[in-house]
């Protein structure tokens, strides 16, 4: 996202993330740590918007970065009316017990204005690993 350009408030969405360690699917002895994350997107703007695509940067504690991009989220390209939200759950696998995720969504308003919505960084961490 270009930090030099700020979209007017009529084209804004807020994003919240809630990660969860999935112990049953993880294998620490094989350096495989699986996390689910639930994302909530809220259209805080003045126009209906459609989520077109996603971009993720997933980093483990060793600094290894996975980049993931593609159309929509969980097979959908939701349209959100002003004040409406959308929630979905997906997963990520990293090779260390802690890491971070961040990214962005490409969106388009019903008036044809394209914009990006930032996904703020959030932590992936195995319980009891950090104080």
Report the pLDDT value the prediction gives residue 128, as an integer from 0 to 100.
81
- State the average pLDDT over residues 104-119: 94
Give the residue-averaged pLDDT of 35-53: 96
pLDDT category, 1, cuts 50, 70, 90? very low
- 32 has pLDDT over 70: yes
pLDDT for residue 25 is more than 50: yes
What is the pLDDT averaged over residues 5-30?
86
Predicted pLDDT at 8? 56
Displacement of CA 81 from its chain's centroid (Å): 20
Single pTM value for the model: 0.88
Question: Domain residues of the chain, as ranges?
Answer: 9-117
Give the pLDDT of residue 130.
57
Report the pLDDT value the prediction gives residue 124, as an integer from 0 to 100.
Answer: 97
Give Cα separations from 102 to 27, 58, 82 (angstroms).
24, 7, 24
Under CATH, which number does the domain 9-117 receive?
2.60.40.1470
Closest CA to 73 of 59, 87, 60: 87
Q: If DSSP codes are grouped into helix, strand and coil, which group holds residue 30?
A: helix
Residue 131 above 80 pLDDT? no
112 CB contacts (<8 Å, ≥6 apart)? none
Cβ–Cβ < 8 Å for 56, 67: yes
The burial of 83, by beta-carbon neighbours within 10 Å (0-12 exposed, 13-18 middle, 19 or more buried), is given as: exposed
């Amino acid at each position: 996202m270009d930090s030099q350009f700020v979209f007017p408030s009529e084209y804004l969405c807020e994003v919240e993330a809630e990660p969860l360690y999935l112990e049953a699917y993880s294998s620490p002895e094989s350096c495989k740590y699986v996390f689910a994350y639930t994302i909530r997107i809220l259209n805080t703007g003045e126009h209906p918007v459609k989520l077109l695509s996603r971009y993720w940067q997933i980093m483990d504690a060793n600094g290894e970065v996975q980049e993931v991009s593609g159309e929509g989220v969980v097979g959908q390209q939701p349209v959100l009316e002003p004040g409406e939200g959308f929630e979905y759950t997906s997963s990520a696998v990293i090779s260390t017990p802690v890491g971070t995720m961040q990214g962005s969504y490409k969106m388009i308003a019903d008036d044809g204005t394209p914009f990006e919505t930032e996904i703020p960084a959030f932590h992936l961490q195995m319980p009891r690993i950090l104080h």
